[in-house]
C-alpha cells in the first residue's frame, strides 16, 4: 500500500478577509488589525484607522491578522472584549462582495490544476488529488500542494495552507498545523506522532460542549480519545456519536470529495449595529431590506438559480428569532419579486419589539436555465417597510 492510498487535500486561505484587506491597504502589513463592526471609509494613513479601543457596539470579529491573533483575539470574539486585549489593533470594515470576488478567483485557479474540488465555503475547499499523485507518495503530494499554493498566489496575491492526508478529516486538521502558508502531509503511520498529541477539540466535529465533556472525563488529547474504549464512549455520548469519536481519533474517514451538489437554499442576512424600531427606523429598515433582496438576487443570478419559496428571518432585541416562508406557484429570482414576497412574510410577524437581525432566503431552488421563457414571477401584494 502507498503511504497515501487516497491523496485528499484541504486548502484553507490564510486569514482570508484580513488578507484581502491588506491587499487594499498594504501599509497595514505587520500591524495588528481585525475585520468587523460597522462599515466606514478608512483613511490612507494607518494612524487614522479606527482603533479597537474606540469601538462602542456589539459587533464581533470576522477575522484578524496573525499579529492580532498573537494578542489573543480571534474570529467570533466580541469587539468590545477584543479591545481589552488589543486596544491598539486597527478596525477595518468588512467588504463581503470583494471577499466573494477573491474566493471565485482562487477556486478558479485551483480548478486549473485539480478539478475534483468540493466547495466548503468562501475560503476553504477539499480536493481529491489521487489521480494527480498515482503512487501515493508524500513527495508527490507535497509537490502538488506547492503548485496549488503558487497558483493561488499568482491569481490573487494571497497565501493559503494545505493539509494532504488519506481522508478529509485528517486533511482539514492538518491544514491548520503550519499556518500561514504551510503544507502538511500526513499518512496513516504519522498519526501517533503528529495527530495524537493534539487537543481532542482540534478534530472537526468536536464542538465546545463535547470538548468540555471530554475534558471532564479526563480525555484531553486525540491520543487519549483513541485509547478510550468504544463501548464506554457510546455510554457517555450515545451510540452514533461515540462510535464516530472512536473512529475520528484513529483518523478513519471514508467520505468522498463531493464535486457537485445542488444547494437547498441561498440566503442573505445582516445584524444591525443598533436595534432598529419597526416604525421609528422604518426608512432605514426599508433600505436594508431592499439591499438584502438585491444582494440575494445577484447571488441567484451568479449561481444560476431561481426559487419558489421565499423566507424571512427576524431576530428581536430579546434574541427571540422568528421565520416565515411563502411558497409561490412559479419560481422567482428578481430583486423586486423577492422583496414583495418577503414583505408578505413580514406581514405575518407581530412587530412589537426592536429588530436586531434581518434575513431573506430563497429555497425550493431550480436551475434558471430550466425555466420556460413564458413563466413569469408571481405577483404579490405590497410589503411592509415600504
Q: Return the active site residues.
A: 124
Which residue matches cell numbers 425555466? 371
At residue 162's C-alpha, the angle toward residues 160 and 166, to 5°, is: 165
| Rounded-to-integer distance, Cα 171 and Cα 124, Å | 12
Q: Between β-strands 355-367 and 305-316, what pairing exists: parallel, antiparallel or unpaired? A: antiparallel
Q: Report d(CA 189, CA 194) in Å as an integer.
A: 9
Q: Cα separations (Å) of 235 from 1, 219, 250, 277, 339?
A: 35, 15, 19, 49, 50
For 353, phi and psi rounded to 5 degrees? -135, 165
- Name, in order, each residue with C-beta under 8 angstroms of 215's C-beta and a sequence gap of 6 or more: none
Q: What is the spatial distance between Cα 172 and Cα 27, in angstroms, rounded to a whole number?
A: 32
Longest dimension (CA), the chain: 69
H helix intervals, the chain: 16-24, 66-69, 79-85, 96-113, 138-156, 168-174, 208-216, 222-227, 230-237, 239-249, 282-303, 335-346
Amino acid at each position: 500500500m502507498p503511504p497515501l492510498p487516497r491523496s485528499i487535500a484541504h486548502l484553507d486561505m490564510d486569514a482570508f478577509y484580513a488578507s484581502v484587506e491588506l491587499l487594499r491597504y498594504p501599509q497595514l502589513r505587520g500591524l495588528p488589525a481585525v475585520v468587523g463592526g460597522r462599515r466606514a471609509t478608512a483613511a490612507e494613513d494607518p494612524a487614522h484607522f479606527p482603533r479597537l479601543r474606540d469601538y462602542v457596539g456589539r459587533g464581533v470579529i470576522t477575522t484578524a491578522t496573525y499579529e492580532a491573533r498573537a494578542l489573543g483575539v480571534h474570529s467570533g470574539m466580541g469587539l468590545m472584549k477584543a479591545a481589552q486585549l488589543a486596544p491598539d489593533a486597527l478596525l477595518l470594515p468588512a467588504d463581503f462582495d470583494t471577499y466573494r470576488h477573491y474566493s471565485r478567483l482562487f477556486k478558479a485557479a485551483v480548478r486549473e490544476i485539480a478539478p475534483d474540488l468540493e466547495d466548503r465555503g468562501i475560503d476553504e475547499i477539499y480536493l481529491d488529488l489521487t489521480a494527480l499523485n498515482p503512487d501515493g507518495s508524500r513527495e508527490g503530494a507535497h509537490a502538488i500542494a506547492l503548485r496549488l499554493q503558487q497558483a493561488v498566489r499568482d491569481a490573487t496575491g494571497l497565501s493559503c495552507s494545505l493539509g494532504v492526508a488519506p481522508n478529509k478529516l485528517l486533511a482539514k486538521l492538518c491544514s491548520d498545523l503550519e499556518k500561514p502558508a504551510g503544507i502538511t502531509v500526513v499518512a496513516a503511520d504519522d498519526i501517533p506522532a503528529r495527530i495524537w498529541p493534539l487537543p481532542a477539540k482540534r478534530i472537526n466535529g468536536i464542538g465546545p460542549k463535547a470538548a468540555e465533556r471530554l475534558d471532564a472525563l479526563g480525555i484531553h488529547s486525540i491520543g487519549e480519545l483513541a485509547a478510550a474504549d468504544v463501548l464506554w464512549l457510546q455510554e457517555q455520548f450515545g451510540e452514533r456519536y461515540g462510535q464516530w469519536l472512536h473512529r475520528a481519533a484513529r483518523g478513519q474517514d471514508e467520505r468522498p470529495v463531493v464535486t457537485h451538489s445542488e444547494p437547498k437554499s441561498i440566503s442573505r442576512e445582516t445584524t444591525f449595529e443598533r436595534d432598529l424600531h419597526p416604525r421609528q427606523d422604518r426608512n432605514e429598515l426599508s433600505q436594508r431590506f431592499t439591499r438584502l433582496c438585491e444582494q440575494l438576487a445577484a447571488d441567484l443570478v451568479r449561481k444560476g438559480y431561481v426559487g419558489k419559496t421565499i423566507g424571512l428571518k427576524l431576530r428581536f432585541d430579546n434574541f427571540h428569532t422568528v421565520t416565515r416562508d411563502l411558497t409561490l406557484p412559479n419560481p422567482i429570482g428578481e430583486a423586486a419579486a423577492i422583496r414583495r414576497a418577503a414583505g408578505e412574510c413580514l406581514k405575518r410577524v407581530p412587530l412589537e419589539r426592536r429588530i436586531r437581525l434581518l434575513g431573506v432566503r430563497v429555497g425550493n431552488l431550480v436551475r434558471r436555465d430550466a425555466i420556460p421563457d413564458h413563466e413569469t414571477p408571481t405577483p404579490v401584494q405590497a410589503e411592509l417597510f415600504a
